[in-house]
Amino acid sequence: MTSQKPIAVGTNDSAQSQAAVLWAARRAHRAGLPLVVLHVVDDRWVAEPYPWFGTLQQAGEELLKTAVGRLEGAVPITPATELLTGSVGGSLAKYSKKTSMMVIGSGSGHFGGSLADRALQVATAAKVPVAVVGTQDLEGRSGVVVGVDGSPESTQAVAFAAAEADREGDELTVVYAVSVPDPIVDAGLTPATLADLIVDEDRVVLSEAVAGLKEDYPDLTVHQRLETDRGPVDALVGTAAGARLLVVGSRGRGAFKRLLLGSTAHGVLKHLPCPTIITRTQAAKNAI
Q: Do domains 7-133 and 144-286 have the same CATH topology?
A: yes
**CB-side neighbour CA atoms (13 Å) of 286:** 22
Check pLDDT > 60 for residue 98: yes
pLDDT number for residue 284? 42
For residue 273, name the pLDDT band (cuts at 50, 70, 90). very high
Which CATH architecture fits 7-133?
A: 3-Layer(aba) Sandwich (3.40)
* More confident site: 80 or 190: 80
Q: Can you point out the beta strands (E) in 139-285?
A: 144-147, 172-177, 222-227, 245-249, 276-279
Angle at 246 between CA 36 and CA 253, to 5 degrees: 110
Domain boundaries, the chain: 7-133, 144-286
pLDDT averaged over every residue in the chain: 82
For residue 139, name the pLDDT band (cuts at 50, 70, 90). very high
Summarised one tens digit per residue, pLDDT across range 15-73 is 999 999 999 999 999 999 999 999 998 776 655 555 666 788 899 999 999 999 999 99
Residue 171, SS3? coil
Separation of alpha carbons 148 and 215, rounded Å: 20
pLDDT number for residue 103? 95
This prediction has a pTM of 0.84
**CA neighbor of 6 nearest in space, from 97, 106, 87, 75:** 97
pLDDT number for residue 110? 36
Q: Are 246 and 276 in contact (CB under 8 A)?
A: yes
Separation of alpha carbons 121 and 226, rounded Å: 30
Which CATH architecture fits 144-286?
A: 3-Layer(aba) Sandwich (3.40)
Summarised one tens digit per residue, pLDDT across range 149-208 is 888 888 899 999 999 999 999 999 999 987 655 555 445 555 556 556 556 666 777 888
